[in-house]
Amino acid sequence: MTSELDIFVGNTTLIDEDVYRLWLDGYSVSDAVALRVRSGILEQTGATAAVLQSDTMDHYRTFHMLERLLHAPPKLLHQLIFQIPPSRQALLIERYYAFDEAFVREVLGKKLSKGTKKDLDDISTKTGITLKSCRRQFDNFKRVFKVVEEMRGSLVDNIQQHFLLSDRLARDYAAIVFFANNRFETGKKKLQYLSFGDFAFCAELMIQNWTLGAVDSQVDDMDVDLDKEFLQDLKELKMLVADKDLLDLHKSLVCTALRGKLGVFSEMEANFKNLSRGLVNVAAKLTHNKDVRDLFVDLVEKFVEPCRSDHWPLNDVRLFLNQYSASVHSLDGFRHQALWDRYMGTLRGCLLRLYHD
Amino acid sequence: MPGKLKVKIVAGRHLPVMDRASDLTDAFVEVKFGNTTFKTDVYLKSLNPQWNSEWFKFEVDDEDLQDEPLQITVLDHDTYSANDAIGKVYIDIDPLLYSEAATVISGWFPIYDTIHGIRGEINVVVKVDLFNDLNRFRQSSCGVKFFCTTSIPKCYRAVIIHGFVEELVVNEDPEYQWIDRIRTPRASNEARQRLISLMSGELQRKIGLKVLEMRGNAVVGYLQCFDLEGESGLVVRAIGTACTLDKLSSPAAFLPACNSPSKEMKESPLVHPPSHGCRSTHNSPIHTATGSRLTQNFSVSVPTLIYTGMGSGSAGKEGGPFKALLRQQTQSALEQREFPFFTLTAFPPGFLVHVGGVVSARSVKLLDRIHNPDEPETRDAWWAEIRQEIKSHAKALGCHAVVGYSESTSICEEVCILSASGTAAVLNPRFLQDGTVEGCLEQRLEENLPAGCGFCHIPYDELNMPFPAHLTYCYNCRKQKVPDVLFTTIDLPIDATVIGKGCLIQARLCRLKKKAQAEANATAISNLLPFMEYEVHTQLMNKLKLKGMNALFGLRIQITVGENMLMGLASATGVYLAALPTPGGIQIAGKTPNDGSYEQHISHMQKKINDTIAKNKELYEINPPEVSEEIIGSPIPEPRQRSRLLRSQSESSDEVTELDLSHGKKDAFVLEIDDTDAMEDVHSLLTDVPPPSGFYSCNTEIMPGINNWTSEIQMFTSVRVIRLSSLNLTNQALNKNFNDLCENLLKSLYFKLRSMIPCCLCHVNFTVSLPEDELIQVTVTAVAITFDKNQALQTTKTHVEKSLQRASTDNEELLQFPLELCSDSLPSHPFPPAKATSVDYSSFADRCSSWIELIKLKAQTIRRGSIKTTVTVEKASPMGEGNFRNRSAPPCANSTVGVVKMTPLSFIPGAKITKYLGIINMFFIRETTSLREEGGVSGFLHAFIAEVFAMVRAHVAALGGNAVVSYIMKQCVFMENPNKNQAQCLINVSGDAVVFVRESELEVVSTQQPTANCQPSCTGGEVTT
């Protein structure tokens, strides 16, 4: 006796959260059944393995049918085939678009192209996430990217509108899109200590302050592309380190203000010029795409690592950066105050976030 | 030209990409009605076109309005080649043709293609302007309302129930026409869909005409079926019950909707839509496996064989004066009727007087081509024959009517089994004719039938019984005789006194048969039928006893014919009726005595059976009141005392001593194990696993014993097909496979729905088909309804306390009708007459007159009050819980806009149906030539069923409704050809589109109901509200 056909269709589509998770995690039906057996469900419910198998198959089939709709979540809301309560719809979407930290760290900043897709095998092996799940996550990134990349208006809003994600998840996706578009390098060894959250935080600051959208909310790609003009202008900041008087003045202003307040004052004093050069040079280099990509590598190399090797406490870093940014306003010979604020305001936030072990 | 149909095409959305180059579609719409077609403009390059068309107007006869569906086709415009069809929408405009239903159809409809399934949606608005038609000889029957619901719909009252209407139309099946060889599958499918739609419309119109002739205005319990006879044609037939319904004018008069139908009954005295009202019983002809022989008579006259499942025998003589009187009354009402049949399964209170038992008839026919579709005489004659048979069976049971009547067919190649079954019953003539309602109100008030047991009393003459049955005095009123077991096809009457909970009982059976042709085949089948029917009955009886219960409701026996086998599947809901005697146990007897090990084995089995019975009693909370022997034993002459005295397992051990004498009259059931077959049977008896805790199941509308429904419902359809390996085709192996299939299916359902616990699967409807040699297909549709656990607990607690005695709680209700013998009254009044306390409605005279007199509606309410009372007396009984229902029932959660509920039941728990919008009757075909790509057979069918649900919901929503009640999937014919990567499926569904309002959203109407104008006893009923 073999089962040729075995289906269950409810007027309200039944969604089993546990099975959904297994499906999202890319397990095959038999693996999912094995995992469910291990969870002790048979004992709890008195069901047999055959029942579990049939149930799992059924859910998988449903999810498979829903997947097409999940690719365009508004369709899920308007479709008539599956009657699903709104709360469940939201759960389906949110879970479908959720991603693994380990996975996102692997592809963050990479071009969402076929080439990267080919590397998913390696990522799967490396992270222990099933290939199927990697593919889903990658395709989600790519799909969101494609839809919003050329859109005007706020990136987060666009993502929310077109994919109906929660605010948090939409922000994460905004970061992913932003990184993918600007191809920031995140995979270098010295960046490994950074979490996705760190990058997402930086991305949000950068979107708010450094993109076209920061100055004009009516342009295409406003939140995705960095403001080229702004990057061009950043060259002007070079005088802060190139002009020796200015640099000395800046240093003395900072040192005066921080004397006695910093545990690592002497280290700071000794390193001031190096750090300042580092930060200003990063800015000056951002005209080249290549250097934009290396932004995080540079920040870590030029600022985070030197401070860390001198064991600056985070609070000292904060005090320093605040003073460092603010003192520029007292430099009479420096005219690009607004530019400096736009640059340093964001950078300060990023650096503070990046500064940890 | 009595009607103007107006259609407006508003917009489309989610259309498929038809032009690969642009990834877009140039869509336009054709609107067709009859032979007139309109087109919209082409909306270029969009998947979400906004046509916003003008109003397309069709001026048509109302006859056409009834027959024709509105056909909307969405196409992709192509400049150079033929336009490609995207899909179609068929809209049945019938609901617009009667005034109380929908006034406009407006909404998003899925665009359906028989090859691709749903492809986007289209927004359509449809209106009808009807002109008065003065032509008396008109062919249309606009205005006659149709209901699938097999009870009087909730917001109506029955003025008269006229009776049976039937009609059938035949045609050639387009699939088998010569043209089918040259046209595409799509064209062929669409031709079929359209034809069936037309035929349904025509059928409905013709039935409507018959109703108008009878001066009715509605058809209730409308059941329409298709017989796909293959080469020989396509038959669409329908049966129903013609009624004159009155709309209850002020819905405000209703109490907030009912959790259960019982509640609704109390709403106003004028309303008696007790959808769960009546039931009847069936005396199985088989009372002891060994004792009685099969009494069916079946005439064999090849190729037409009629097999009747019920006991034969001459019509019983009039038993007593009352019966004679009653008969006279009702006969006059029913005499002129050719077939006094009613498709209703639940009745207004007082309608059902007695129930005789299940009557059924089957006939094996050979199909031949229908030569003249306009004169479908052969098919008519076949059914007439069967109905005649049913009628005579009913007569034999001393009944003049058949209720819960249904008809079905099973076709395999050229052989067709026609089946009809129903419950023989004696009805109260009040509802059957006009003008007799006047008079003797007061009398009527008192003349109520004994609540809760009247229907159990035998309608036939006890000295001339149609079949061997074991009669005792009613355990409830002690006045009348009742059979020991009652089988019926109807729902449990709302006023029935039930002890404990009910459960789904199934008998499953397979029989191999040789492949044969034509007449030889028909003969082989008809030879097998009686044996199958006998075994199905035996199984049912055994299982019923094993559950410790004594009555079956909603019995449905389906016999399916295949190439090389016959399958029988009987489903019913077992209950313990307080009025009927406690069932005896099952005794196993061996045929080979003096064999030690064998005896040991037997006694082992016996023990197992006894244990099972005990366990079941506990599980279903069957704790009948203890009855002292003098009361039941002595006053009843027991001429037929069985000589074989058997131990009865039915009583709990502490009662045994008291009940010595009564054992004698308990007809214990003996199974003789004389061969391996019988052994298998016994084993199979014990293999049925009870549902996991927290689950109950039944195939009736409501679960006897559970009243405290909460609002969560989940309707579902589950389909399984298994392939038998041809090696193991023995009857036993087949039986086991079939049994496992059904059991596993149930287990899967319980597992899937575990999040709803505590819940009950209601209206569980199994359908078996044999699509191919080695394939068995089982389709189940049911609804899971949650209920309040706290109350369930309460019940169980009550049970625990039961031993402490019931007396304490009795007084909750001030008004009790003494009809129900509360057990505490027994000890004090050892003799039956004494039991009747203040008001003895159960006395003979009262009963008698109640038959004669027409009972005013108000009387019903009183009775209902009494029902409640009764229930409280039996704490175990479910209805007692009703009193607490409202207190603990949580208000339903948000009802999201756009959600359409579907349920096979006639009501929605926790809600009130405020409007019936019309009948939904839809037929779909889906075909694929890329089966693997669509996920194999499971993926294909899963998607299709989901689409069917979607289309039903869309139509209901467009009518302005939010639910379908009495939903039924009448057909699900699935054919596959995996080698060719093809599959095809036909599905036919129907139901009633309704608007419901959540109880919590209704204003709380004061408990002062119109009922107040009747006796204070009404309060009994109101307590529950």
Instruction: Of A84-93, B74-83, B251-260, B575-584, give the lowest mean pLDDT range.
Output: B251-260
Per-residue pLDDT reduced to its tens digit, B26-47 = 999 999 998 899 999 999 888 9
By the 10 Å C-beta count (0-12 exposed, 13-18 middle, 19+ buried), B304 is classed as: middle
Using a pLDDT cut of 70, give the percent of chain B over it.
65
Residue B88: both structure tokens together: 């179609």
By the 10 Å C-beta count (0-12 exposed, 13-18 middle, 19+ buried), B424 is classed as: buried
Tokens 């013998």, residue?
A: B821
- pLDDT at position B904: 94
Is A222 inside any structural domain? Answer: no
As a whole number of angstroms, the distance between CA B612 and CA B618 comes to 10
Q: Which of B111-125, B612-626, B672-686 has the highest mean pLDDT?
A: B111-125
- pLDDT at position B463: 64
CA B940 to chain centre: 29
Q: Are B779 and B715 in contact (CB under 8 A)?
A: no
* pLDDT of B782 higher than 70: yes
- pLDDT at position B727: 66
Instruction: Of A140-149, B522-531, B642-651, B669-678, give the lowest mean pLDDT range.
Output: B642-651
Comparison of pLDDT for B273 and A62, the residue scoring more: A62
Interface test with A, best of B113, B693, B720 (most A CBs within 10 A): B720
Name every chain A residue with its beta carbon within 8 A of the beta carbon of B123: none
Interface test with A, best of B730, B734, B752 (most A CBs within 10 A): B752
Q: H helices of B456-553, where?
A: 518-546
Closest B-chain CA to A81: B950
| Cβ density class A8-44: b for 16+ within 10 Å, e for less | bbbbbbbbbeebbebbbbbbebeebbebbeeeebbee
Same domain membership, residue A259 and residue A156: no
Name every chain A residue with its beta carbon within 8 A of the beta carbon of B954: 80
Find the mean pLDDT for residues B718-727: 86
**Single residue among A144, A173, A208 that ends a domain in this structure:** A208
**Single residue among A152, A175, A208 that ends a domain in this structure:** A208
* pLDDT of B675 higher than 60: no
| Secondary structure of residue A80 in the 3-state scheme | coil
- pLDDT at position B860: 31
Closest A-chain CA to B112: A81
Split at pLDDT 50, 70, 90, the class of B450 is low
Q: Is B974–A75 a contact, with Cβ atoms under 8 angstroms apart?
A: no
- pLDDT at position B834: 31
Q: Is A47–B118 a contact, with Cβ atoms under 8 angstroms apart?
A: no
DSSP secondary structure letter of residue B43 = B
Same domain membership, residue A271 and residue A168: no
Name every chain A residue with its beta carbon within 8 A of the beta carbon of B777: 5
Q: Are B622 and B877 in contact (CB under 8 A)?
A: no
- pLDDT at position B268: 30
- pLDDT at position A3: 73
- pLDDT at position B827: 35
Residue A273: both structure tokens together: 């010029």
Of A61, A325, A353, A327, give the one whose Cα is nearest residue A202.
A353
Q: What stretch of H or E contains B949?
A: helix B936-958
Between chain A and chain B, how many beta carbons pairs sit less than 8 Å apart? 125
Our separate counts of H helices and E strands in chain A read 22, 1
Instruction: Of A134-138, B220-224, B893-897, give the lowest mean pLDDT range.
Output: B893-897
- pLDDT at position B21: 81
* pLDDT of B633 higher than 50: no
As a whole number of angstroms, the distance between CA B198 and CA A194 comes to 69
Name every chain B residue with its beta carbon within 8 A of the beta carbon of A46: 692
- pLDDT at position B335: 55
> From the list B741, B751, B939, which residue is nearest A55 (CB)?
B751
Q: Is A61–B935 a contact, with Cβ atoms under 8 angstroms apart?
A: yes
Q: How many Cβ atoms from other residues are within 10 Å of residue A182's Cβ?
A: 19
Q: Is B945–A5 a contact, with Cβ atoms under 8 angstroms apart?
A: no
> From the list A64, A65, A78, which residue is nearest B13 (CB)?
A78
What residues are paired with B975 via a beta bridge? B984
A77-116 residues touching B, CB cutoff 8 A: 78-83, 85-86
R_g of chain B computed on alpha carbons = 28
Instruction: Of B565-569, B765-769, B777-781, B861-865, give the lowest mean pLDDT range.
Output: B861-865
Mention every residue, 6+ apart, whose C-beta is less than 8 A from residue B506.
B543, B569, B570, B571, B572, B688, B742, B766
Same domain membership, residue A74 and residue A110: no
Per-residue pLDDT reduced to its tens digit, A70-127 = 999 998 988 899 999 999 999 999 999 999 999 999 999 888 888 787 889 999 999 9
Name every chain A residue with its beta carbon within 8 A of the beta carbon of B715: 10-11
Is A87 inside any structural domain? Answer: no
Instruction: Evaluate the CA torsion angle B703, B706, B707, B708 in order and state its sign.
Output: negative
- pLDDT at position B237: 92
Render B626-637 in DSSP notation, one character per residue. P--HHHHTTTS-
Is A330 inside any structural domain? Answer: yes
Q: Are strands B3-13 and B117-130 parallel, antiparallel or unpaired?
A: antiparallel
Is A218 inside any structural domain? Answer: no
Where in the sequence is the domain holding A278, given as residue range(s)? 227-352
Same domain membership, residue A185 and residue A260: no
Q: Looking at the complex, report in whole angstroms how far the Cα of residue A188 sits from the nearest Cα belonging to chain B.
A: 41
> From the list B938, B949, B950, which residue is nearest A5 (CB)?
B938
Cα torsion through B929, B930, B936, B942, rounded to 10: -70
Split at pLDDT 50, 70, 90, the class of B629 is very low
Same domain membership, residue A319 and residue A237: yes
Is A52 inside any structural domain? Answer: yes
Same domain membership, residue A111 and residue A64: no
Tokens 């298998």, residue?
A: B680
Same domain membership, residue A347 and residue A273: yes
Split at pLDDT 50, 70, 90, the class of B964 is very high
- pLDDT at position B988: 94
Closest B-chain CA to A76: B14
* pLDDT of B630 higher than 60: no
As a whole number of angstroms, the distance between CA B171 and CA A206 comes to 73
> From the list A11, A62, A80, which residue is nearest B715 (CB)?
A11
- pLDDT at position B574: 92
Tokens 């203000």, residue?
A: A257
Q: Is B748–A79 a contact, with Cβ atoms under 8 angstroms apart?
A: no
Split at pLDDT 50, 70, 90, the class of B276 is very low
Q: Is A5–B719 a contact, with Cβ atoms under 8 angstroms apart?
A: yes
Q: Are B333 and B325 in contact (CB under 8 A)?
A: no
Closest A-chain CA to B774: A1
Q: Is A11–B714 a contact, with Cβ atoms under 8 angstroms apart?
A: yes
When divided into structural domains, chain A yields a total of 3
Same domain membership, residue A267 and residue A334: yes
As a whole number of angstroms, the distance between CA A210 and CA A230 comes to 7
Q: What is the pLDDT along chain A (357 residues), one digit of tens a residue?
A: 567 899 999 999 999 999 999 999 999 999 999 999 999 888 888 888 899 999 999 999 999 999 999 999 998 988 899 999 999 999 999 999 999 999 999 999 888 888 787 889 999 999 999 999 999 999 999 999 999 888 888 889 999 999 999 999 999 999 999 999 889 999 888 899 999 999 999 999 998 888 887 766 666 666 778 888 888 888 888 888 888 888 888 999 999 888 888 888 888 888 888 899 999 988 888 888 888 899 999 999 989 999 989 889 999 999 999 999 888 888 887 888 888 989 999 999 999 999 988
- pLDDT at position B684: 66
Tokens 């309707």, residue?
A: B715
Of B272, B149, B166, B159, give the one whose Cα is nearest residue B217.
B159
Q: What stretch of H or E contains B356?
A: strand B352-366
Is A174 inside any structural domain? Answer: yes
Tell me the one-letter amino acid at B1022: E
As a whole number of angstroms, the distance between CA B877 and CA B882 comes to 10
Report chain B's mean pLDDT, rounded to a whole number: 72
Q: Which of B50-59, B98-107, B439-448, B605-614 has the highest mean pLDDT?
A: B50-59
Per-residue pLDDT reduced to its tens digit, B311-355 = 333 333 333 444 444 455 555 555 556 788 999 898 887 788 888
Q: Is B748–A4 a contact, with Cβ atoms under 8 angstroms apart?
A: no
Same domain membership, residue A270 and residue A339: yes
Mention every residue, 6+ apart, whose C-beta is less than 8 A from residue B316.
B396, B397, B398, B460, B461, B464, B465, B466
Same domain membership, residue A53 and residue A106: no
**Single residue among A82, A111, A135 that ends a domain in this structure:** A82
As a whole number of angstroms, the distance between CA B54 and CA B31 comes to 12
Q: Which of B355-359, B428-432, B633-637, B852-856 has the highest mean pLDDT?
A: B355-359
Comparison of pLDDT for B274 and B1000, the residue scoring more: B1000
Same domain membership, residue A23 and residue A65: yes
Closest B-chain CA to A83: B899
* pLDDT of B796 higher than 70: no
What residues are paired with B126 via a beta bridge? B7, B105
Mention every residue, 6+ apart, whose C-beta is less than 8 A from residue B341.
B163, B164, B239, B241, B387, B390, B391, B401, B402, B403, B405, B422
Closest A-chain CA to B716: A10
Same domain membership, residue A62 and residue A33: yes
Name every chain A residue with its beta carbon within 8 A of the beta carbon of B692: 45-46
Interface test with B, best of A6, A14, A41, A77 (most B CBs within 10 A): A6
CA end-to-end distance (rounded Å), chain A: 61
Of B774, B715, B783, B714, give the one whose Cα is nearest residue B741.
B774
> From the list B724, B754, B950, which residue is nearest A45 (CB)?
B754
Name every chain B residue with its beta carbon within 8 A of the beta carbon of A74: none
Name every chain B residue with its beta carbon within 8 A of the beta carbon of A81: 110, 118, 946-947, 949-950
Cα maximum dimension of chain B: 95
As a whole number of angstroms, the distance between CA B593 and CA B576 comes to 35
As a whole number of angstroms, the distance between CA B521 and CA A331 comes to 108
Q: Is A78–B14 a contact, with Cβ atoms under 8 angstroms apart?
A: yes
Find the mean pLDDT for residues B974-1001: 89
Instruction: Of B88-92, B324-328, B473-477, give the lowest mean pLDDT range.
Output: B324-328
Instruction: Of A296-305, B493-502, B866-875, give the lowest mean pLDDT range.
Output: B866-875
- pLDDT at position B375: 64
- pLDDT at position B1009: 40
Q: Is A12–B714 a contact, with Cβ atoms under 8 angstroms apart?
A: yes
| Cβ density class B846-862: b for 16+ within 10 Å, e for less | bbbbbbbbbbbbbbbbb
Instruction: Of A287-296, B97-106, B629-638, B747-756, give the lowest mean pLDDT range.
Output: B629-638
- pLDDT at position B330: 52
Is A188 inside any structural domain? Answer: yes
Is A147 inside any structural domain? Answer: yes
As a whole number of angstroms, the distance between CA B812 and CA B1023 comes to 10
Interface test with A, best of B108, B693, B712, B747 (most A CBs within 10 A): B747
- pLDDT at position B623: 79
As a whole number of angstroms, the distance between CA B550 and CA B572 comes to 12
Interface test with A, best of B713, B744, B750, B894 (most A CBs within 10 A): B744
